[in-house]
Amino acid sequence: MKITSGRVMMSAALLVVAGFLVGLVVSGRLDLTAPSVAAVDDTQPDTAAAAADVAAPAMQPAGLPDLSAIAERALDVSVNISSTSLVRVPVDPFFAPFFGNRVQRSQSLGSGVIVSPDGYILTNTHVVGNQPETLRVTLGDGQERPARLIGTDQISDLAVIKIDETGLPTIPWGDSSRLRVAEWVLAVGNPFQLSGTVTLGIVSTVSRAVGAYQDFIQTDAAINPGNSGGALINARGELVGINTMIYSETGGYQGIGFAIPSNTARQIMAELIEHGYVTWGSIGRMTLVGIDANRAQRYGLPSTGAWVQSIARSASAYRAGLEPGDLITAINGQSIASVEDLDRVIVRQKVGSTVTLSVIKEDGRRVELRVPVEPRRSEPR
């Protein structure tokens, strides 16, 4: 009887322990599974370490590139540019005969890039202002120098200035035609007078049509007022663009900035240094407007193209037969949807060459006009 009672008590105790152990397994507090192959096995350190080394690259997420050394070199060639412009302020017509037009001084601040050891600096035309004698450059080390204007170009918005220094740091030119979407870039400049600022982003689009150009680099690297004329640098530390403008509804950064590609900037810079101006293609002075739906319906014309509102008699296009009321639908066989499309093609034509305009005359006739390309340039100041 005692033996039976003891056995019962022992069985009961075993059941309690077993239930407790099962509860631990179910609740996850007791791990009865075999050790994972990714865990370190103290009895086989060499094999486990090798397995960990092989697995690590596949398991670790890719990190951002370390661009600190590149940024430091870019800051060395970045400068702050200040200048003064004279701006005419409108006067109430009643007081104009007594006081005339009022002129106000406007301070301009922007950025630039040192492109040669002997002091040539590339920037934007709108940064240098219209009073070249007021140009001042602040170098990366804080030293300030007077600068002289070498040349400006209104169409590309590029300008070259120079300071009397030698042995200045530079960075290599990059080939902007090799840029790829999502490639890392740094924007360097002086936004809001905050000198030596570097922002990181990617190339959003390698060729964006804006104004007379169709090859702006679009980037989401933060570009703000004051960044104009600054450098756009790739992850190899090469100059791939000149920051020029932003798209913004507030006046500040919204993730859409534009830079002139380095291949274009380098070519224009060479002309500015040699001549002080850049020669572009033209077919004469005229006023072109887009063709709206009402005008197209009234005259039975296509809804795309460039409609000639007026044209100078001295224009090569006028001498070739282009008249007010004509609609230009294509140039060199390439259809145009707007006035900007036409202008982008013409400015790139070699002076002395000939372009073919596809035109619909007012009476509905379709003609082809061969027009000589004339020079159009921004005169040196």
**DSSP string across 173-189:** B--GGG--TT-EEEEEE
| Any domain includes 225 | yes
Cα(165)–Cα(290) distance, integer angstroms? 49
State whether 54 and 76 are in the same domain.
no
State whether 53 and 72 are in the same domain.
no
Sign of the CA dihedral with 238 first, then 244, 250, and 251 last: positive
Cα(87)–Cα(103) distance, integer angstroms? 6
| Any domain includes 220 | yes
| Any domain includes 35 | no
Cα(114)–Cα(229) distance, integer angstroms? 11
pLDDT (0 to 100) of residue 331: 97
Last residue of a domain, one of 207, 232, 261: 261
Q: How many domains does the chain have?
A: 4
State whether 52 and 72 are in the same domain.
no
Last residue of a domain, one of 261, 294, 315: 261
Per the DSSP assignment, residues forming a β-bridge with 372 are: 354
Cα(239)–Cα(235) distance, integer angstroms? 10
pLDDT (0 to 100) of residue 161: 98
Residue ranges of the chain with per-residue pLDDT less than 70: 1-63, 89-103, 211-214, 377-381
Last residue of a domain, one of 114, 139, 162: 162
pLDDT (0 to 100) of residue 27: 34
Cα(56)–Cα(61) distance, integer angstroms? 10
State whether 107 and 190 are in the same domain.
no
Question: 143-191, pLDDT tens digit by residue?
Answer: 999 999 999 999 999 999 999 999 999 999 999 999 999 999 999 999 9
Q: DSSP letter for 170, please.
A: -
pLDDT (0 to 100) of residue 94: 58
C-alpha 271, offset from chain centre: 22
| Any domain includes 272 | no
Largest distance between two CA atoms of the chain: 132
| Any domain includes 240 | yes
| Cβ atoms of residues 128 and 120 within 8 Å | no
pLDDT (0 to 100) of residue 195: 87
With DSSP H G I counted as helix, E B as strand and the rest as coil, what are the percentages for the chain, rounded to 5?
25, 35, 40
Cα(230)–Cα(29) distance, integer angstroms? 60
Dihedral of the alpha carbons of 51, 52, 53, 54, in degrees to the nearest 10: 50
State whether 73 and 149 are in the same domain.
yes
State whether 327 and 371 are in the same domain.
yes
| Any domain includes 348 | yes
Q: DSSP letter for 173, please.
A: B
State whether 154 and 222 are in the same domain.
no
- Look up residue 143 and give its amino acid: Q
State whether 372 and 300 are in the same domain.
yes
pLDDT (0 to 100) of residue 117: 98
Cα(276)–Cα(124) distance, integer angstroms? 14
State whether 80 and 141 are in the same domain.
yes
In 226-292, where does DSSP find H-type helix?
262-275
Residue with tokens 């309690």: 16
**What is the three-class DSSP state of 290?**
strand
| Any domain includes 269 | no
State whether 72 and 155 are in the same domain.
yes
For residue 369, give the CATH number of its domain. Answer: 2.30.42.10
Verdict on whether the full-model pTM lies above 0.85:
no
pLDDT (0 to 100) of residue 62: 58
Residue with tokens 């239930």: 19
State whether 224 and 141 are in the same domain.
no
Cα angle 155-139-184, degrees, rounded to a multiple of 5: 65
Cα(361)–Cα(182) distance, integer angstroms? 46
Cα(151)–Cα(154) distance, integer angstroms? 10
Question: 318-364, pLDDT tens digit by residue?
Answer: 999 999 999 999 999 999 988 988 998 999 899 999 999 999 998 88
346-379 in b/e burial notation, b at 16+ Cβ within 10 A? bbebeeeeebebbbbeeeeeeeebebbbbebbbe
Residues assigned a catalytic role? 126, 157, 228
| Any domain includes 170 | no
For residue 125, give the CATH number of its domain. Answer: 2.40.10.10
Cα(342)–Cα(284) distance, integer angstroms? 13
Could you tell me the two tokens for 237?
């530390």
pLDDT (0 to 100) of residue 93: 63
Q: DSSP letter for 90, please.
A: P
- Look up residue 158 and give its amino acid: L
Domain that holds residue 218: 176-261
